Amino acid sequence: MNKMKILIIEDEEPIADLLSYGLKNEGFQTRTAESGSVGMSELEQFEPDLLLLDWMLPDQSGLDICKKVTANYNIPIIMITAKSDVTDKVLGLEFGADDYITKPFDLREVIARIRTTLRRLDQAKLGDRKAAEEHVIRVKNIEIVQEERLVKKEGIPIDLTPKEYDLLLMLFGHQGKIFTRAELLDYVWGYDFIGDTRTVDTHIQRLRKKLDAGDFITTVFGIGYKFEKQVE
């Protein structure tokens, strides 16, 4: 069985070494990078299953890295940082992070959150396969290939983050149902959320922009969102 791969982008060597050592002892394969530029290069070569990302790097902000990764890759991101303000945490999540851990941290918590994030991703993939009556769902010019967690627009693959994809599947799977923002946070993020519902708004905006989906992912003012029921 292949080991799950974790890329650690962290400029503080003792912290990077601690994370790498602890994760290797838990059966993960790891690689470390001390800067954003090195990290992006390693991302291409190492092809990790999950990214541990420090907020403050010597050459660029972790938020910038997070934005680049979510725009071009389909991997979960856990941010590790000394910033503890809720506003900062929300900002990191809105830039595409899946979870957030504040320094100083307990290594056991980091490992637990990694396993939880990867397990949710695996469960989502399994749920997609079990729920699929067809291998491909078509909505206008959009195709959703559930077994591959792949979305295409006019035949061209569209890069969605894991949360964007899960949000799209949740809305599509309940066409016509109105979801509150709190419900979508609960169903898609799946744990006690540390921020507020603006994260849902941000992800909806990205989905609409990437898929040109403003006519079927609609806002129900004062309540939340719904996927307009499609007529055959």
Query: Domain locations in the chain?
Result: 5-122, 132-227
What backbone phi and psi angles, to 5 degrees, belong to 219?
-95, 130
Instruction: Write out pLDDT tens, residues 42-57.
Output: 998 999 999 999 988 9
Query: Could you give the CA distance from residue 193 to residue 190 in angstroms, rounded to a whole number?
Result: 8
> At which residue do the structure tokens 């990437």 appear?
210
Query: Could you give the CA distance from residue 74 to residue 148 in angstroms, rounded to a whole number?
Result: 11
Per-residue confidence (pLDDT) for residue 1, from 0 to 100: 47
For 132-227, CATH number?
1.10.10.10
Q: Look at strands 224-227 and 179-180 and give their pairing.
A: antiparallel
Beta bridge partners of 102: 81
Which value, in Å, is the radius of gyration of the alpha carbons in the chain?
Answer: 18
Average pLDDT over residues 89-100: 78
Per-residue confidence (pLDDT) for residue 14, from 0 to 100: 92
Among residues of the chain, what percentage have pLDDT more than 90? 31
212 touches 153 (CB < 8 A): yes
Q: Indicate the Cα dihedral angle 204, 207, 208, 210, nearest 10°.
A: 150
Least confident of 145-149, 168-172, 198-202: 145-149
Per-residue confidence (pLDDT) for residue 119, from 0 to 100: 79
Per-residue confidence (pLDDT) for residue 116, from 0 to 100: 84
pLDDT category of residue 155 using cuts at 50, 70 and 90: confident
* pTM of structure: 0.59
Task: Classify 52 as helix, strand or coil.
Answer: strand
Q: Is the pLDDT of residue 29 over 90?
A: yes
Q: What is the DSSP letter of 61?
A: B
Per-residue confidence (pLDDT) for residue 192, from 0 to 100: 54
5-122 CATH fold: Rossmann fold (3.40.50)
Per-residue confidence (pLDDT) for residue 25, from 0 to 100: 93
Least confident of 46-55, 138-147, 194-203: 194-203
